[in-house]
Every structure is written in C-alpha cells, then in structure tokens.
A = this chain, B = another copy of it.
Amino acid sequence: VKIGVFDSGIGGLTVYRALRRRLPGAGIVYLGDTARLPYGTKSAETVGRYAREATAFMLDQGVESLVVACNTVSSVALDEVSEASPVPVIGVLEPGVARALETTRNGRIGVIGQPATIKSDAYGRSLRARRPEATVLGAACPLFVPLAEEGWTGNEVARAAAALYLAGLKAAGVDTLVLGCTHYPLLSETIAAEMGPEVVLVDSAEAVAAEVARALDPADAAKRTLAGESAESEDRFFVTDSWERFREVAARFLGRRLESLEKIDL
C-alpha cells in the first residue's frame, strides 16, 4: 500500500515518522511545497489552488491514501482536496480533536499552534462542535517552529520559550494539550516538562498515523510487516525548492540523512 503525505514544508516529516513506525510495510511518498511556504499567511483561494496541484501530483505517484499534514490546508481546504481526490484524504486536525476529547477528564483543552492556526480557531470550532461544553484555550507558539528546525528542542532557549508560551494554559488548568502544528512533537519533552505530569499531550502526528492505519485494509497493512519487510528504502521525498536546507533539517527530524530527495515543479 502506498500513502502520500503532503505538507507546505518540512513539519509533515513528524507525520511521516509516525506512519513509518506504525506501518512498516507501507510505501510513503512525501511532498513538501518548500518553494511556496508558508501557507499560513496566504488566502484560502491560494492555499486551495496549491493543495489541488499537490493532490494531482500525489495521484500521479499512485498513492492509495493521502494525508494532508499541513494545518493550514487541513483547516481551510480539506473539502476541496477530498473532492479532487478519488482516494481517501485524511487531514491533520480531526484525529487530534478526536483524541483530545477521548483524553480530557475536566473538559479543559489547550491547543498550541502557529499564529494563523490559533487565530482561525479551527481546533476550537471542531472541539466545540463535538462537545459544546468543552472549554478550549489556544496559545500561539511561533518560536517552536524555528527551534525545532534548529534542533534546539531541549536546551535553555527551548525551556525559556516554553515557560513563556505555556504559562497561561498551565494557570488555566487544562488537562489535555493538543500539539496543533506538525513541528511541535519535536519539542514534546520540553512541553511536557513545563506543563507537568497531570497534563496529557496529544501529538497530532501520532493521531493521524493511527487514523490512517485504522482506515487501511488491515490485511494490506499487515502483509509486508508479517514478511518482516520494511518499505522504508522505497520511500520517496519531493520538494519544490531549496533541498539543501530541507536535507539539513530533515536529518534533525528523522535522525538520519535523506539520500533520495527530488526537486519538482508543481
């Protein structure tokens, strides 16, 4: 089985990593539209057009399932992608929302993400649609993205930033915290240490991977795993610009060097 993972940039590699662990027998095609990032500051029309172009590329690659590992596309253009795609499309938002609602005991849920995600209140709207009595508190943590890309995930800079960003959510007594940006799982230890042991973190990348695994034909997913075979060597990685930077940062995300990285035009 072949799964496509699409992101505006590199953050979706946390979703790739989670899928890789959970579905060793699947082949994964990754596409980072690095030439046109960030999507978060662009209009919904523009984001929709970019997402349709990425979807067409992924379908050409023969993917049987498409993961939209980009919060912006998941928030503003998921319907558009689903309509353009004959294969199942899974966004990064709903699986995290579902898991947060399963997790929370006190109904107070924190969401952290990039400024555009928090401003859009996409998580809040989805959480309240399913559970109107939930209290949702958002906090934008923009520095977490460059910290993750720099590999500064557990040093003094990361700890000081986490303390500043998370103070309000901590004081508000949330018992569940959704990592609403695919970069943030790289800082999960620092975030967890700051929030304390009573707060459960919801890793959207993990939640998405679990959702993809659930949606797949179980026989299909198990096939190669049983044969002891990993499809990792067949994975393909595509970017639309600046591969050198991608390669450097990808090594921090994956803990290994990406040998095959292909540049394409969308």
Stretch at the interface among A89-97, A100-108, A155-163, A174-182: A155-163
On whether the beta carbons of A115 and B152 are closer than 8 Å, the reply is no
Cβ-closest 4 pairs across A and B: A41-B242, A157-B160, A156-B160, A157-B161
Nearest B residue to A115, CB-CB: B245
Q: In the complex, how many angstroms separate the beta carbon of A86 from the nearest chain B beta carbon?
A: 32
Among residues 176 to 235 in chain A, which have CB atoms less than 8 Å away from a CB atom of chain B? none
Q: How far is the CA of A142 from the CA of B245 in the complex (A)?
A: 12
A7 interface residue (CB < 8 Å to B): no
Q: In the complex, how many angstroms separate the beta carbon of A146 from the nearest chain B beta carbon?
A: 5
Q: How far is the CA of A146 from the CA of B41 in the complex (A)?
A: 15
Nearest B residue to A147, CB-CB: B143
A residues contacting B by CB (< 8 A) are 34-35, 41-43, 115, 142-143, 145-147, 149-150, 152, 155-157, 160-161, 164, 241-242, 245
On whether the beta carbons of B242 and A42 are closer than 8 Å, the reply is yes
Residues from chain B with Cβ under 8 Å of A160 in the complex: 155-157, 160
Residues from chain B with Cβ under 8 Å of A42 in the complex: 35, 241-242
Q: How far is the CA of A145 from the CA of B146 in the complex (A)?
A: 9
Residues from chain B with Cβ under 8 Å of A147 in the complex: 143
Q: In the complex, how many angstroms separate the beta carbon of A114 from the nearest chain B beta carbon?
A: 11
On whether the beta carbons of A157 and B146 are closer than 8 Å, the reply is no
Q: How far is the CA of A34 from the CA of B115 in the complex (A)?
A: 16
27 A-B contacts, Cβ less than 8 Å apart? A34-B41, A35-B42, A41-B241, A41-B242, A41-B245, A42-B242, A43-B241, A115-B245, A142-B146, A142-B149, A142-B150, A143-B146, A143-B147, A143-B150, A143-B152, A143-B157, A145-B146, A146-B146, A152-B164, A155-B160, A156-B160, A156-B164, A157-B157, A157-B160, A157-B161, A157-B164, A160-B160
Q: How far is the CA of A220 from the CA of B223 in the complex (A)?
A: 79
Q: How far is the CA of A241 from the CA of B152 in the complex (A)?
A: 30
Residue with the greatest number of chain B CB neighbours at <10 A, chosen from A155, A157, A160: A157
